[in-house]
Amino acid sequence: EQTASFFEAVGGEETFRRLVHRFYEGVVEDPLLRPLYPEDDLDGAEERLRMFLIQYWGGPNDYSQQRGHPRLRMRHAPFVIGEPERDAWLKHMGDAVQSLDLPPEQEKQLWDYLVYAAHSMINA
């Protein structure tokens, strides 16, 4: 029996494209977060986060094909991530999630994961 993935249920690649693009529109304007991200490769950062989230929710696995095992805590080790950084990240991600206008159930599922993942990324 085949059940549709969350990736498909929320609208596939286009939805994640909108989500992550909106998120980085917030990051660009954020004096706390912007310096953490690559100065001249924000498009690359956008693509990496998009590929990761697509794969996480059951879409194509381009992320792992290009980047290998996610090991997200290890990949974030170079950046100081305390509560202020986490809260700023979640602020922009919250705006981005809301901009999708998903049905409440799906919005909650997506948001609960992002909150949990952001809390687990704290390293300072």
Contact string 14-43 vs ligand HEM (x = CB under 6 A): -------------------x--xxx-----
Which CB sits closer to ligand HEM, 16 or 89? 89
Least distance from ligand HEM to the Cβ atom of residue 124, Å? 10
Burial of 58 (0-12, 13-18, 19+ CB in 10 A): middle
Residue 2 or residue 74: which is nearer to ligand HEM going by CB? 74
Smallest gap, in angstroms, from Cβ of residue 3 to ligand HEM? Answer: 23
Among candidate residues 40, 11, 19, 120, the one with its CA nearest the CA of residue 76: 120
Which of the residues 50 through 109 are near ligand HEM (CB under 6 A)?
52, 67, 72, 75-76, 79, 81, 85-86, 89
Structure tokens at 55: 């794969």
Alpha helices in the chain (DSSP H): 6-9, 13-28, 42-56, 62-67, 72-75, 83-99, 104-120
User: Cβ 83 to ligand HEM, closest distance in Å?
Assistant: 9
Distance separating alpha carbons of residues 72 and 9, to the nearest angstrom: 25
Size (the chain), residues: 124
Between CA 119 and CA 38 the distance in angstroms is 22
Query: Considering beta carbons, is residue 78 or 104 the nearer one to ligand HEM?
Result: 78
Q: Which residues form the interface with ligand HEM (CB under 6 A)?
A: 33, 36-38, 44-45, 48-49, 52, 67, 72, 75-76, 79, 81, 85-86, 89, 114, 117-118, 121
